[in-house]
Amino acid sequence: MTDTDVIVVGAGPTGLMLAAELRLAGVGVVVLERRPRINEVAKAGGLGGQILHVLRYRGLLERFEAASGRPRPTPQFPFGGLHVDFTRLAEPPMEALLLPQPRIEAVLEEYVRECGADVRRGHEVLGLDEDPAEVSVDVRGPDGAHRVSARYVVGCDGVRSRVRDLAGIAFTGVSYPEVNRLAHVTRPPSVTLREDGDYEAPGIGLLRSGYTQTDHGMFAIASMTPDELTVYTSEEDPDTYDDEIPMTVTELADSIRRVLGADLPLGEPITMTRFTYHARHAERYRAGRILLAGDAAHRFPAGGVAVNAGMLDAVNLGWKLAADVAGWAPTGLVDTYHDERHRAGARTLMHTQAQVALRRGADPAAEALRELLSELLLDEDPVRRIGRLIAGSDVTHPTPGLDQHPLVGTFAPDLPLRTAEGTTTVATLMHTARPVLLDLADREALRETARGWQDRVEIVTARTDPRPADALLIRPDAHIAWATDVGEPHDTAGPALRDALTYWFG
């Protein structure tokens, strides 16, 4: 008999988000983390993109906003050495919340412990044994070596994943030679933020907001709030560094001097991190009862996407493992995790590698490409498309082999709803992470079709104006699994609903 249902290896944002999703579904979960405490080196400076919407759909976003306590930054984001300005769009496709990664992990860990997850710090995975029914994990913890078994093991243990190596999953790709340093610091009085968004600094003069390429690398400066500076350098640096040792203001100032050829006054550090870029993708996200998520499955050569992608992996995987543990998962459901998120990872890898070409090119052709893209980014449609790419919100999950309504596979819109019990929203319905059949046209026949699944699918009748469809079948990860057009007859809508219910929910 197994000790728990699922073992999650790694207590970073991906592993903790997965543990939360599993606990919402009532699944037993043990989280094994080799570090005895949260790593205070802030590898990420916040949350951004589609995961913000997912957290709102889980009722968790307010926790992170309270932990941040800072205003949302202006929706302007880097893309391959360019700045993409979303401020002209009524609904920016990309937004961010400023919160250093140690605080992200602290908020998530507090939540998953409230949900009943068993988080064990100071427990390092040494080995794995898998048979057709379970996986046994050899662990070295504070009290010595021991073994834990589960139905599944998920490696959320980062770029040097022990789980991935033990499972024999290839992690191919390339590494880039630059060392990147990124910091949020308070803006010293001697650095003036001009009305046009540029800067004046003593000994330097005018500093353009955004990216500046020099003979020694790349420098960037911007302000997410008027009292702060975001400063970035990228340079080929022969010195090695230890991920576990935090970057200092002195180290950043030295890098600015090398790249920019001048000293820039810096205020007090808020968050600081250094990193190198890699483009790597796991050959597969599943090997039997062993799965990968987050940095263990993918590395992207651009900032601002890794935490978002990893936590979205977790939300996609959690309900599928829970369905298998509960015994109602249809054949192949867990495999759809690889199909969907590997495709999403490949898309993120595509646009982040395109950013490498944009920022590394130093010849006239590269300058022409940057100039052309800068012109395109003056138009709303390209800006919106790039924003959805960065946010990871352009990824859809269609149902293979079934007729596709245009909404199928997309993230469910947060419709305002009127029910017999009062008003609510789609986001509120998704707080429990259960599938929902949302009847928007009071179609009793469709509700009757779904009755056989009511032990695992919530059936909700509501009104909204205007309605995008007569009914929506929404997966626990808030993607639409099926939809029917307004007025579509039951002799076609009913069988299609039954097929979708069977495909996704057994």
HEC sequence for 291-331: EECHHHCEECCCCCCHHHHHHHHHHHHHHHHHHHHHCCCCC
**Structural domain spans, the chain:** 4-70+82-170+283-391, 175-277, 416-505
* CA separation for the pair 324, 151 (Å, rounded): 9
Task: Kindly report the pTM of this predicted structure.
Answer: 0.91
Please tell me what DSSP assigns to residue 411: B
Contacts (Cβ under 8 Å, ≥6 apart) of 332: none
Those residues of the chain that have pLDDT short of 70 are 238-240, 243
Fold exhibited by the domain 416-505 = Glutaredoxin (3.40.30)
The H or E element spanning position 232 is strand 228-236
Region of 166 on the Ramachandran plot (φ > 0 left; ψ -120 to 50 alpha; else beta): alpha
Task: Give the span between the Cα atoms of 10 and 121, in whole angstroms.
Answer: 9
What is the C-alpha to C-alpha distance for residues 150 and 164, in angstroms, rounded to an integer? 17
Domain boundaries 4-70+82-170+283-391, corresponding CATH code: 3.50.50.60
pLDDT value of residue 238: 63
Side-chain half-sphere CA neighbours of 219 within 13 A = 22
CATH of segment(s) 175-277:
3.30.70.2450
> What CA–CA distances, in Å, run from 425 to 216, 447, 463?
52, 19, 10
Beta strands 286-287 and 436-439 are: unpaired
Record the tokens describing residue 352, joined without a space: 């982040």
Q: State how far Cα 258 lies from the chain centre.
A: 33
According to the model, what pLDDT value does residue 409 have? 96
- Measured in degrees and rounded to the nearest 5, phi and psi for residue 89 equal -95, 135
Q: What is residue 1's predicted lDDT score, i.e. its pLDDT?
A: 80
CA angle 76, 38, 26 (to 5 degrees): 90
| Helix segments in 223-363, DSSP class H | 249-260, 306-326, 335-360
Residue 243's pLDDT is 66
Of 135, 46, 37, 38, nearest in space to 94 by CA: 46
